[in-house]
Chains A and B, each alone.
Chain A
Amino acid sequence: MGLLAFLAKLADWRRRDQLSGELDEELNFHRAQLERDGGAGHARRRLGNLTRLKEETRDMWSIPWLDQLQQDARYALRGLRRSPGFAATVIVTLALGIGANAAMFGVVDRLMFRPFAYLKDPDTVHRVYLRWHDRGTVRTDNWMEYTRFLDLQKWSSAFSQYAAFADRNDAVGVGDAARERPVAVVNASFFDFFDAPPALGRYFTASEDSLPRGADVVVLGNAFWQSEYGSRNVLGTVLQVGDMHLTIIGVTPRGFAGVAEGEAPAVYLPITTYAGSRRGNQGTTYYRTYNWGWMDFMVRRRPGVTVTQASADLSQAYVRSWNAEAATDHIAPASVAKPEAIAGALKEAAGPDPGLEARTALWVSGVALIVLLIACANVANLFLARALKRQREMAVRLALGVSRGRLLRQMLTESLLLAFIGAIAGVLVAQWGGAGIRGLLISKEGASLAVIADWRTLGIVAGAAVVAGVLTGLAPALITRRELATALKAGTREGTYQRSRLRTGLLVAQGALSVLLLVGAGLFVRSLERVKAMRMGYDADPVLFVERNNRGVNLDDSALVRLNLSLLDAAQRLPGTEHAALNTTLPFWSTSSTSLFITGIDSVRRLGRFTFQQATTDYFRVMGTQILRGRGFTPEDRASAPRVMVVSDGMARRLWPGKDALGQCVRVRADTMPCTTVVGIAENIVERDLTGTDRFNYYMPLEQDHLDFADGLLLKMRGDARAQQEAVRGALQKLMPGASYVTVQSFGDVVDGQRRSWRMGATLFVAFGLLALIVAAIGIYGVIGYNVAQRMHELGVRIALGAQSGDVVKLVLGQGMSFALTGIGVGLILALVVARFVEPLLFHESAKDPAVYAGVGLVLLAVAMLACALPALRATRADPNAALRGDS
């Protein structure tokens, strides 16, 4: 039957009662006509038996399976209305399980799978990743130089399209409207990857994106155009981006974001315009040298080229490019570095080197799946309990001739109905709880997105509901295959209760899976604790950092010094400021290093990478970095005074092992420089990565060098630093000449960002672990409670024969705890096996941490005990009289 024919039939099916009535009326009319023309007898003879006619006609608008389905659904609804507690428990349990999965799928889909809007034929588009060997370790990176991009484009042949692109943050607009915004700098060919006709104007052309510097044109992002220009026709208007003055030539269509993962770029400009406008050497050599790796590169495979062939083609081009670089720079030869290029996923999270966060997100989705499994086990158990209760009803219906298939269908209808109600509730759960998860995982902007953003998530939810419905509906069907006669013969009370291996199995599985999740939760929580407890060497939370951006305003050195000093002075006068200092670098933000020369050491460089900070007097007070020995900076460390430096503990130990670093002489930048004397030793700081061990930093007073080197300042605030960000910006911005501006950011936020993957892992594992624990506790409680209810008669007899309350409690608890202990045991072993796979995601935490395992075991034991306690107490109230009087 074709779809249209089926739809016609379905339409008739829906109004079959009406159709039937109409047919009756029509036949009555026919009869009346016959009577009029030939008399009553004639009519009776002709229309004597209409049953066959009606049956034949009605068959045409009936769909038997749909009739049955409707019947089953009505039956199921009636049954559920009679046991609302059961229905509610099932729905809530499934809602939690399905909701958790919908939320996690939404996140993982966004991170890894959902293609970028407007992208043509996404399967053939790749981001290019480079891999090489560097002193024993394999490095994978997707940042490369423009020169490298040109090389790979020139020497590869497997691709039909190439585009270089980079996401930057830059000031957009002038005056009060100027803000740092995401800026996409892309090749003209970038737009050819998409099927996205501009909403207004045009995109830039290859001639506007040419070497050495492209044209001064810009394309606006749709959202930016709407919010800043109210969708006016702005073509031809000039917009300042950074220190470039660009003419607006077009606007992207709504929803276009290029290949940006987070916020959509505000503007798109030619990559050569951006790079060619860079000051100094970079602006003129970026396409000829290999020392500025800053952009990404995407390609489209030619038809018929496989991914493997594409990677091979890129790799040979990369080897040639590597050799070209080796000819001018001192890098390891290709034979040692083994350079290799990969045509990988456009989404970095799905590429060869996904970040810690993407990997954690994948693990957490596995966790969500386990929560769903536990929920299913639980619901299956509830259905089983119900099926046992309804065994007689089923037996009677079977005896009356209802087929087993029909019964099975009925049970499936019931479970699927509940699963779908649960799924709808689950979407609500995901919508509500998912905002938090996405906030943790993606970005602040991502948090506000709807969970059901497209059919993909909807499909997953529906799929999860079907799986849950079938799994939970089939379980009771298995046990109704009992002998009819036995069930019919048995009274409502039986002497012995039935143990079901399936039910206890499900219970043990639930317990084991909960243990697994809770162990994961424990490991991540310990990691987070360790990350947080780790002394970073500074107190980030009260610190704001101000970046000064000249944006093309030309200031000579002395003007810069004056500006810096006036900024420092203004910052110190702010009511919320405790200390302030001009600085040059900041942990997790930027680092500097230079050559050091020390008598008695051949090559300082070979001992490690030593990075320096130049800042004004109050630096250590602003950062809260402790001076362990010696002194910090004082106002006496002026340009005219002897040069001094403070070194980190790690650096002191590395450079002068076994000796006192204080008083040592270091020559900075050149061995002809005068001595810089070590006057203090500061605690180690975490500068680039939380997990590293080399902490080599040194500090020099900015006053002894050039004050114009500082491109920002640090402020230690009283009270909530983040709340004062805007006030600080407003106060300092007033001092900035022309289009130059300052940005103010919370250093605490920057440091927090570094801990994100652990915080995310801990939060989500704990949330899902607790969810699993609650569901498992409900499971144990349900099963033990049901067993007690079934054994009331037997327990009554026991009490009548002299059993004490204590004996009864022991009996019930004993049974419950034996399930629990088995589950815990299995779970702990399982956890030991699985946990080592998450170890790379942990921070200074062993996947075999005994404290975690013991803690989880105890928690589960306590919860199981609680879940059994209520039924056990109820068991002590078994009435011996009722037991003895009752039938049997």
Chain B
Amino acid sequence: MTQTPDNRRELLPGTLDMLILKSLTVQPMHGYGIAQHILRLSGDVLFVDEGSLYPALQRMRQQGFLKATWGRTPNNQRARYYTVTRAGRRHLGERETGFAAVIEAMLRVLKPA
């Protein structure tokens, strides 16, 4: 069983791709870095499970949204770094627009209550 502090939330389905791509637009990162980045930026709320992260990375690499290259960490460890491709950026843009529309619509439904 994984220890999960109370304030941690599971990701909304279908948002992982977006978060990964968004993180990588900042700079190329390795898998561990991506998970840490999302956790930190979300104020320790969004927790990315390894079991979802790595399949998602592979899938997006195959789809051509990401490129994977082996590099060195500052500690001189060999790690696999991911960068966003142009197709990845386009995909991210589409997802972000779609997501914003959905959130807005949901809020409109939820607010009056």
Contacts and interface: CB of A to CB of B under 8 A. Distances in A.
Interface of A: 5, 8-9, 12, 19, 22-23, 25-27, 29-30, 32-34, 45-47, 50, 52-53, 56-57, 60-61
Interface in B1-40: 1-3, 30-32
B61 to A, nearest CB: 9
Contacts of B64: 8
Given A8-B63, A29-B30, A46-B2, A57 B78 contact: no
Given A29-B31, A46-B2, 11 more contacts: A5-B63, A12-B62, A25-B80, A27-B54, A29-B32, A29-B79, A32-B77, A47-B50, A53-B50, A53-B55, A60-B62
B32 to A, nearest CB: 4
16 contacts: A8-B63, A9-B62, A22-B80, A23-B54, A25-B78, A26-B30, A26-B54, A29-B32, A29-B77, A30-B32, A30-B50, A32-B77, A34-B32, A50-B50, A57-B55, A60-B59
Contacts of B70: 22
Given A8-B62, A26-B80, A52 B51 contact: yes
B55 A56 contact: yes
Contact of A45 (B3, B30, B31, B55): B3
A57 B32 contact: no
A46 B50 CA distance: 8
Query: Which 4 A-B pairs give the minimum distances between C-beta atoms?
Result: A33-B32, A56-B55, A53-B51, A26-B80
B58 interface: yes
Name the residue in B1, B54, B79 with the highest tally of chain A Cβ atoms < 10 Å from its Cβ: B54
Contact of A61 (B62, B77, B80): B62
Nearest to A27: B54
Contacts of B1: 45
B73 to A, nearest CB: 8
A105 to B, nearest CB: 42
A17 to B, nearest CB: 15
A12 B62 CA distance: 8
Contacts of A56: 51, 55
B65 to A, nearest CB: 11
Nearest to B64: A8
Contacts of A30: 31-32, 50
Contacts of A12: 62
Interface string B41-65: 0000000001100110011001110
Nearest to A19: B58
A22 B31 CA distance: 13
B97 to A, nearest CB: 23
Contacts of B30: 26, 29
Contacts of A45: 1-3
A44 to B, nearest CB: 11
A34 B31 CA distance: 12
A9 B51 CA distance: 21
A60 B3 CA distance: 30
Contacts of B62: 8-9, 12, 60-61
Interface string B77-103: 111100000000000000000000000
A26 B2 CA distance: 21
Interface of B: 1-3, 30-32, 50-51, 54-55, 58-59, 62-64, 68, 70, 77-80
Given A22-B80, A26-B31, A57 B58 contact: yes
Contacts of B54: 23, 26-27, 53, 57
B87 to A, nearest CB: 11
B71 to A, nearest CB: 11
A43 to B, nearest CB: 10
Contacts of B79: 26, 29
Name the residue in A27, A30, A45, A46 with the highest tally of chain B Cβ atoms < 10 Å from its Cβ: A30
A60 B55 contact: yes
A29 B31 CA distance: 9
B19 to A, nearest CB: 17
B2 A60 contact: no
Nearest to A23: B54
B48 to A, nearest CB: 11
Contacts of A9: 62
Nearest to A8: B62
Contacts of A8: 62-64
Nearest to A45: B2
Contacts of B3: 45
A8 B30 CA distance: 22
Contacts of A23: 54, 58
A29 B58 contact: no
Nearest to A11: B62
A22 B78 CA distance: 11
A12 B58 CA distance: 10
A176 to B, nearest CB: 67
A319 B78 CA distance: 89
Contacts of A47: 50
Nearest to A12: B62
Contacts of A29: 30-32, 77-80
B99 to A, nearest CB: 23
Name the residue in B30, B50, B63 with the highest tally of chain A Cβ atoms < 10 Å from its Cβ: B50
A34 B63 CA distance: 28
A32 B70 CA distance: 16
A741 to B, nearest CB: 70
Contacts of B68: 22
A526 B50 CA distance: 84
Contacts of B59: 60
A23 B63 CA distance: 17
B58 A60 contact: yes
B23 to A, nearest CB: 16
A61 B58 contact: yes
A265 to B, nearest CB: 53
A50 B1 CA distance: 14
Contacts of A25: 78, 80
Name the residue in B59, B62, B70 with the highest tally of chain A Cβ atoms < 10 Å from its Cβ: B62
A32 B59 CA distance: 24
Nearest to B3: A45
A845 B13 CA distance: 85
Name the residue in A5, A26, A46 with the highest tally of chain B Cβ atoms < 10 Å from its Cβ: A26
A625 B75 CA distance: 106
A84 to B, nearest CB: 41
A19 B3 CA distance: 31
A27 B50 CA distance: 9
B11 to A, nearest CB: 16
Nearest to B49: A46
Nearest to A29: B79
B59 to A, nearest CB: 6
Nearest to A49: B51
A22 B50 CA distance: 16
A161 to B, nearest CB: 48
Name the residue in A23, A33, A53, A61 with the highest tally of chain B Cβ atoms < 10 Å from its Cβ: A33
B14 to A, nearest CB: 17
A46 B2 CA distance: 7
